[in-house]
């Protein structure tokens, strides 16, 4: 039987090898446990491919650190290694400053979750739908169908507007009717139309009111709440329906107009100035 203090090579004994092997096994188990935990925690926040990459990076970092700590069992001069490692680290850090910054931002984005895949957002000047959230960058498809890759550092430091973060959102229409039309009737016509639409939310209820007595007509303001996932289609669909409903009821949507009274010209019927 081989004695534990048998030298294998240099100053490394069998015992050193066993301690090192056990340390590595423990490190691998710890890395796997952390990987499982990460997968569970982030599976609904990241794409599978990206998550796998992140988990691998984390596992490799843990194993490298673990081996580092296990090395003293070989009587390796940690001081020398630190000098070499420190220098290498410095070079790598300078070379990959942006990458590390993007990686850090990506991790913070995953924790904070200001946007999710499928959300309609505005990040800086870019507006569209989030296609992917990667470790280093976020992919946005603009409304025109253009692919835009935004580095996570930029995403993290920009103003983010998420149009669908809340389950419901409000939009408004401004509709003018003629001064000769019945504003109460117009409000009723529009209210009935909104009640019939499935995605105009019952609560919060839509609000319709006379908001301005304008130059050309009476202005109605209509506030509508709709589920965030369908608000745009509701918005594009309803204005036409409102116009058609008002037309059916003979309610005029006036053109800009100005009443001009000519001084000194008499109107035959009323004795007023001619218009």
Residues near another protein (CB under 8 A): 166-170, 196, 198-199, 201-204, 225, 227, 229-230
Residue closer to another protein (CB basis): 85 or 118: 118
CA-to-CA dists, residue 130 to 109, 170, 211, angstroms? 13, 21, 37
**How many C-beta atoms surround the C-beta of residue 13 within 10 A?**
20
Residue closer to another protein (CB basis): 53 or 235: 235
Closest distance between another protein and the C-beta of residue 228, in Å?
A: 8
Cα atoms found within 13 Å of the Cα of residue 208, Cβ hemisphere only: 19
Closest distance between another protein and the C-beta of residue 231, in Å?
A: 10
Q: Peptide bond preceding 94: is omega within 30 degrees of 0, i.e. cis?
A: no
- Cα 250 from chain centre: 44
Closest distance between another protein and the C-beta of residue 169, in Å?
A: 7
C-alpha angle 236-241-246 in degrees, rounded to nearest 5: 135
Distance CA 233, CA 92 (A): 50
Residue closer to another protein (CB basis): 49 or 198: 198
Distance CA 144, CA 128 (A): 8
Closest distance between another protein and the C-beta of residue 202, in Å?
A: 4
Residue closer to another protein (CB basis): 46 or 62: 46
Distance CA 173, CA 136 (A): 40
Residue closer to another protein (CB basis): 170 or 185: 170
Closest distance between another protein and the C-beta of residue 245, in Å?
A: 17
């Amino acid at each position: 039987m081989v004695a534990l203090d048998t030298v294998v090579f240099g100053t490394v004994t069998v015992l050193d090898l066993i301690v090192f092997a056990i340390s590595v096994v423990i490190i691998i188990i710890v890395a796997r446990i952390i990987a499982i935990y990460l997968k569970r925690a982030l599976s609904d926040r990241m794409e599978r491919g990206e998550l796998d990459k992140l988990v691998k990076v984390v596992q490799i970092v843990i194993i490298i650190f673990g081996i580092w700590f296990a090395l003293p069992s070989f009587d390796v001069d940690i001081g020398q290694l630190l000098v070499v490692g420190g220098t290498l680290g410095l070079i790598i850090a300078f070379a990959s400053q942006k990458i590390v910054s993007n990686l850090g931002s990506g991790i913070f984005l995953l924790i904070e979750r200001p946007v999710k895949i499928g959300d309609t957002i505005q990040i800086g000047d870019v507006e569209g739908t989030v296609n992917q959230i990667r470790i280093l960058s976020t992919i946005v498809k603009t409304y025109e169908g253009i692919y835009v890759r935004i580095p996570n550092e930029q995403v993290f430091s920009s103003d983010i507007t998420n149009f669908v973060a809340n389950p419901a959102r409000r939009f408004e229409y401004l509709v003018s009717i003629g001064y000769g039309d019945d504003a109460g009737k117009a409000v009723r016509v529009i209210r009935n139309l909104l009640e019939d639409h499935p995605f105009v939310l019952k609560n919060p209820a839509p609000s319709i009111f006379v908001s301005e007595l304008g130059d050309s007509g009476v202005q109605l303001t209509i506030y509508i709440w709709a589920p965030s996932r369908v608000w745009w289609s509701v918005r594009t669909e309803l204005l036409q329906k409102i116009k058609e409903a008002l037309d059916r009821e003979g309610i005029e949507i006036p053109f800009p107009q100005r009443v001009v009274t000519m001084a000194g010209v008499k109107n035959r019927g009323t004795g007023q100035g001619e218009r």
